Chain A
Amino acid sequence: MGIQAKPIHFGKRHRLDKPELLAPAGNLEKLKFAIHYGADAVYIGGQQYGLRSNADNFSFEEMREGVEFANRYGAKVFVATNIYAHDEDVDGIEAYLRNLEDVGISAIIVADPTIIEIALRSAPKLEVHLSTQQSTLNWQAVKFWKEEGLPRVVLGRETSLEEIAEIKKHVDVEIEAFIHGAMCSSFSGRCVLSNHFTDRDSNRGGCCQSCRWKYDLFEDARSQTDWISEEEAADQRVLEQFQLGVNQLPLYEEGDNPFSMGSKDLCMLEAIPDLIEVGIDSFKIEGRMKSIHYVATVVNAYRQAIDSYMADPENYELKPEWLEELNKAANRPLNTGFFYDTPDEEDHIYEPEDKAVPYDFAGLVLDYEEATGIATVQQRNHFKPGQQIEFFGPNGTFFKQQVGTIWDEEGNELDAARHPLQKIRLKVDQPVRYFDMMRKQNVKVASKAVAAI
């Protein structure tokens, strides 16, 4: 793992207000997991005006249910309304925002000033947060948006901790920053590769992630600005000398990995004290398209780190198992983005990507009988007796064991849990609770790891 946090000490003021842990929720089930596993707030997408048109987005009814669930935990629900609108998009926005207000959404995350204005005018109960898509990097811009009526700004991912400290010094506004997950390698919003390669509009949710494709780098043997001089231009025959292809000098050799813009994923777990002391108000995890297992695992790790630091900052220590946990959900190598310095060759992915996640969500704990030590789990992936599994949960559940005998609800012994959502009973080594998760190592990744040894 390529994380090299270089702690900066932002004074010994010891912050008293706990920052918000903000998690993605791609659908209602993920929302429930994110909140149960410790998110203070979640952000979701509605069926319009968001940047994940492929995601399993929320209907207003689902939002209402999500808000009700969140309220039971004192958590909030935000909606990403972060497209750059075209004229054809504008008409429906007002009604949409009123609906968000009606179902109890706390805030919307917005990039386009048109949507900001409509929200402030027509849905005043919604807080408006400025999206990272605005690439806000300086305190004057932050001040401008605050004066426009926005209580919170999500900074561009290019902002360093030093710059955040400077911004907090100048402006009394909530600052939200991405702390974990996949990143645009471009300034967010300033990339239309997708539009050019596939006619899919990246700023309206159609991004096809062309930055992660592979490219060859060349140098033009002709000097660019004067590949034809004015004198030569007068003499048109010179153009005949230019033949397609012959002017390309490859800047790679046989066996080199191709050029790519793909970034490693952000992980700031090791820098929690810095993030807290610099004054970031909301710690945001990326990933509305990610799995339940991912969201629960990542939220759980950050929840523990934040709570542990806030409880006793003087004696805070990063627990290696939090990082191990994060790695169980990671599908890319990790780094610290722009927080400490500008990313370099260690922070990009040139090798072929293996998207396989090291662990799979195998079962959800529904019930536990104290007397017998038997748990009932809802099957979420194939598992069978003899396999190594882990249980984890938000209230400290964390242990490994081997799957013993498994039964269905009628008590019939099974050789494997094959049916999605089937209720399976098995003996567990330690007590578990409703909503704890059972995971198993991904067979493909596990066998590869063995082969590597």
Chain B
Amino acid sequence: MNNKPELLITASSLDELRLLAEAGADAFLIGEERFGMRLPGNFTLGEIAEAVTYSHDKGKRVYVAVNNLMTNDILAELPAYIEGLRDAGVDGIEFGDPAVLTTARELAPSLRLHWNAEMTSTNSSTANYWGRKGATRVVLARELNMDEITGMTDKLEVEAQVQVHGMTNIYHSKRRLVQSYMAHQGRQVDGDLGLTRGLFLIEAERRDEKFPIYEDSNGTHIMSSEDICILEDLHLLMEAGIHSFKIEGMLKPTAYNVAVIRAYRTAIDHYVANADDYEFDESWLDAVHELQDPERELSFGFFYKEQVF
């Protein structure tokens, strides 16, 4: 293959970022809640600059999530933030809202633009549309299957990023649904309802599936009950020429994320060294299995599912 695929992971703090870098990550997705959606931790502009200095020194890249659904009041802050990211030297930003694209093109033309509309980035021609507007990468929806993804790469005029491991968002509302429910119950809302609270939903007929739910200033987020793990078939994505493999580290301890990075690092390095003789080795996943939350299944997500409509 032409280029070594990138191994990208979110980081909740500078400390975690350093550990993940040492474990073999090539790139990081960080940011803050005001501009970015569903991040495992918040980085100030100062911390972003520090992350960039550290990462560039090690030949790694830093991307910042600016992928919120923007409201008028955020527009006023957006130019300064984009300039701050440019000055911090970040390599690229993830966006979904055209307002971010417009602002970045104007103020920071050197920033790479990764189009991430989450569950609605579903086809190659729309990815190419954003490419013509200046995007260099599409972050593909997690609801696409393997055939759709591998069949798309020939048509794509931009890089493709695919999430290969971790949980995914399955519902986002601007409403404060947990708060509202507690108020309905007459229950005192004690403490934070955010990521670290450990709230989850169980649906009446699916008692063994736990769906994490949390609130932040962007509303209510519900996450998948399973973690994607496509390592076994990562070679199919490498053969297809996917440029970046993303690991979602949200709601996972650092030790787990380190183990996941090591596993994918091993697979990518083996493949790049000798694609012809590449063979997946089950033992690469041992450390991940040991640290996997026993209440969450590792699954292929939608890679091999038929969806109807």
- Which residues does A use to contact B, with CB under 8 Å? 53, 84-90, 111-114, 117, 133, 135, 137-141, 143-145, 156, 158, 163, 166-167, 185-187, 189-193, 195-197, 199-201, 203-206, 210-211, 213-230, 233, 236, 239, 242, 244, 247, 251-253, 256-261, 263, 338, 342-345, 347-348, 350
A192 & B309 in contact (Cβ 8 Å cutoff)? no
B308 & A347 in contact (Cβ 8 Å cutoff)? no
B195 & A224 in contact (Cβ 8 Å cutoff)? yes
- Which residues does B use to contact A, with CB under 8 Å? 12, 40, 69-72, 74-75, 97-99, 101-103, 118-120, 122-126, 129-130, 143-144, 148, 151-152, 155, 169-185, 187, 195-204, 206, 210-213, 220, 222, 224-225, 251-256, 290-291, 293-295, 302, 305-309
Q: Which residues of A contact B144 (CB under 8 A)?
A: 86
A215 & B201 in contact (Cβ 8 Å cutoff)? yes
| Cα–Cα, bound, A338→B174 (Å) | 9
B204 & A185 in contact (Cβ 8 Å cutoff)? no
Known: A140-B98, A203-B119. A215 touches B255 (CB 8 A): no
28 A-B pairs (CB sep. < 8 Å): A53-B309, A84-B123, A111-B120, A112-B126, A113-B130, A114-B126, A139-B75, A158-B69, A187-B69, A190-B69, A193-B170, A193-B222, A196-B225, A197-B203, A201-B309, A210-B203, A216-B201, A218-B199, A218-B202, A220-B200, A221-B198, A225-B40, A225-B252, A233-B256, A239-B290, A259-B177, A345-B183, A350-B184
A343 & B175 in contact (Cβ 8 Å cutoff)? yes
Closest Cβ of chain A: how far from B187's Cβ, in Å?
7
Known: A138-B75, A251-B199. A85 touches B174 (CB 8 A): no
Q: Which residues of B contact A53 (CB under 8 A)?
A: 309
A256 & B185 in contact (Cβ 8 Å cutoff)? yes
| Cα–Cα, bound, A251→B182 (Å) | 9
| Cα–Cα, bound, A324→B294 (Å) | 54
Which 10 residue pairs of A and B lie closest in terms of their CB atoms, listed nearest first? A206-B309, A220-B198, A140-B99, A233-B255, A144-B98, A345-B183, A204-B309, A345-B184, A224-B198, A345-B180
Q: Which residues of B contact A89 (CB under 8 A)?
A: 123
B122 & A85 in contact (Cβ 8 Å cutoff)? yes
Known: A163-B71, A200-B308, A244-B294. A117 touches B152 (CB 8 A): no
Closest Cβ of chain A: how far from B36's Cβ, in Å?
15
Which interface residue of B71, B155, B206, B256 has the most chain A CB atoms within 10 A?
B71
Closest Cβ of chain B: how far from A8's Cβ, in Å?
16
Q: Quick one: closest B residue to A164, CB to CB?
A: B72
B125 & A114 in contact (Cβ 8 Å cutoff)? yes
Given contacts A85-B122, A343-B180, 4 further A-B contacts (CB under 8 A): A191-B171, A214-B204, A218-B201, A244-B295
B176 & A342 in contact (Cβ 8 Å cutoff)? yes
Q: Which residues of A contact B172 (CB under 8 A)?
A: 186-187, 190-191
Q: Which of A85, A145, A203 contacts B126 (CB 8 A)?
A: A85
Q: Which of A117, A197, A204 contacts B206 (CB 8 A)?
A: A197
B119 & A190 in contact (Cβ 8 Å cutoff)? yes
Q: Which residues of B contact A86 (CB under 8 A)?
A: 122-123, 144, 148
A117 & B98 in contact (Cβ 8 Å cutoff)? no
Closest Cβ of chain A: how far from B161's Cβ, in Å?
17
B120 & A189 in contact (Cβ 8 Å cutoff)? yes
| Cα–Cα, bound, A378→B118 (Å) | 50
A200 & B309 in contact (Cβ 8 Å cutoff)? yes
Q: Which residues of A contact B225 (CB under 8 A)?
A: 196
B309 & A138 in contact (Cβ 8 Å cutoff)? no
A113 & B180 in contact (Cβ 8 Å cutoff)? no
| Cα–Cα, bound, A217→B120 (Å) | 28
| Cα–Cα, bound, A113→B130 (Å) | 9
Q: Quick one: closest A residue to B119, CB to CB?
A: A192
Known: A192-B170, A203-B120, A256-B185. A141 touches B98 (CB 8 A): yes
Known: A216-B202, A230-B255, A344-B183. A144 touches B306 (CB 8 A): no
Q: Which residues of B contact A138 (CB under 8 A)?
A: 70-72, 74-75, 97, 99
Closest Cβ of chain B: how far from A349's Cβ, in Å?
10
Q: Which residues of B contact A158 (CB under 8 A)?
A: 69, 174
Q: Which residues of B contact A344 (CB under 8 A)?
A: 176, 179-180, 183
Q: Quick one: closest A residue to B74, CB to CB?
A: A138
| Cα–Cα, bound, A342→B61 (Å) | 38
B308 & A201 in contact (Cβ 8 Å cutoff)? yes
Q: Which residues of B contact A215 (CB under 8 A)?
A: 201-204, 211
A230 & B294 in contact (Cβ 8 Å cutoff)? no
Known: A138-B71, A200-B307, A252-B185. A192 touches B201 (CB 8 A): no
B181 & A217 in contact (Cβ 8 Å cutoff)? yes
Q: Which residues of B contact A137 (CB under 8 A)?
A: 69-72
Q: Quick one: closest B residue to A85, CB to CB?
A: B123
Q: Which residues of B contact A342 (CB under 8 A)?
A: 174-176
Q: Which residues of A contact B200 (CB under 8 A)?
A: 217-220
A225 & B99 in contact (Cβ 8 Å cutoff)? no
A167 & B294 in contact (Cβ 8 Å cutoff)? no
| Cα–Cα, bound, A135→B119 (Å) | 13
Which interface residue of B74, B122, B211, B290 has the most chain A CB atoms within 10 A?
B122
Q: Which of A113, A227, A259, A350 contacts B293 (CB 8 A)?
A: A227
Q: Which residues of B contact A247 (CB under 8 A)?
A: 295
| Cα–Cα, bound, A27→B277 (Å) | 59
Known: A167-B72, A193-B222. A206 touches B308 (CB 8 A): yes
Q: Which residues of A contact B206 (CB under 8 A)?
A: 197
Closest Cβ of chain A: how far from B297's Cβ, in Å?
12
Q: Quick one: closest B residue to A87, CB to CB?
A: B123
Q: Quick one: closest A residue to B177, CB to CB?
A: A261
Q: Quick one: closest B residue to A163, CB to CB?
A: B72
B151 & A87 in contact (Cβ 8 Å cutoff)? yes
| Cα–Cα, bound, A74→B74 (Å) | 41
| Cα–Cα, bound, A338→B122 (Å) | 28
Which interface residue of B130, B155, B172, B179 has the most chain A CB atoms within 10 A?
B172
Q: Which residues of A contact B212 (CB under 8 A)?
A: 224
Closest Cβ of chain B: how far from A257's Cβ, in Å?
7
Known: A190-B118, A239-B290. A261 touches B252 (CB 8 A): no
B196 & A224 in contact (Cβ 8 Å cutoff)? yes
Q: Which residues of A contact B69 (CB under 8 A)?
A: 135, 137, 156, 158, 187, 190
Q: Which residues of B contact A224 (CB under 8 A)?
A: 195-198, 212, 251
| Cα–Cα, bound, A53→B225 (Å) | 27
Closest Cβ of chain B: how far from A145's Cβ, in Å?
7
Known: A138-B72, A156-B69, A251-B187. A348 touches B302 (CB 8 A): no
Q: Which residues of A contact B290 (CB under 8 A)?
A: 236, 239
B98 & A213 in contact (Cβ 8 Å cutoff)? no
Q: Which residues of A contact B143 (CB under 8 A)?
A: 192, 195, 201, 203
Q: Which residues of B contact A111 (CB under 8 A)?
A: 120
Q: Which residues of A contact B118 (CB under 8 A)?
A: 190
Known: A189-B119, A190-B172, A201-B307. A239 touches B99 (CB 8 A): no
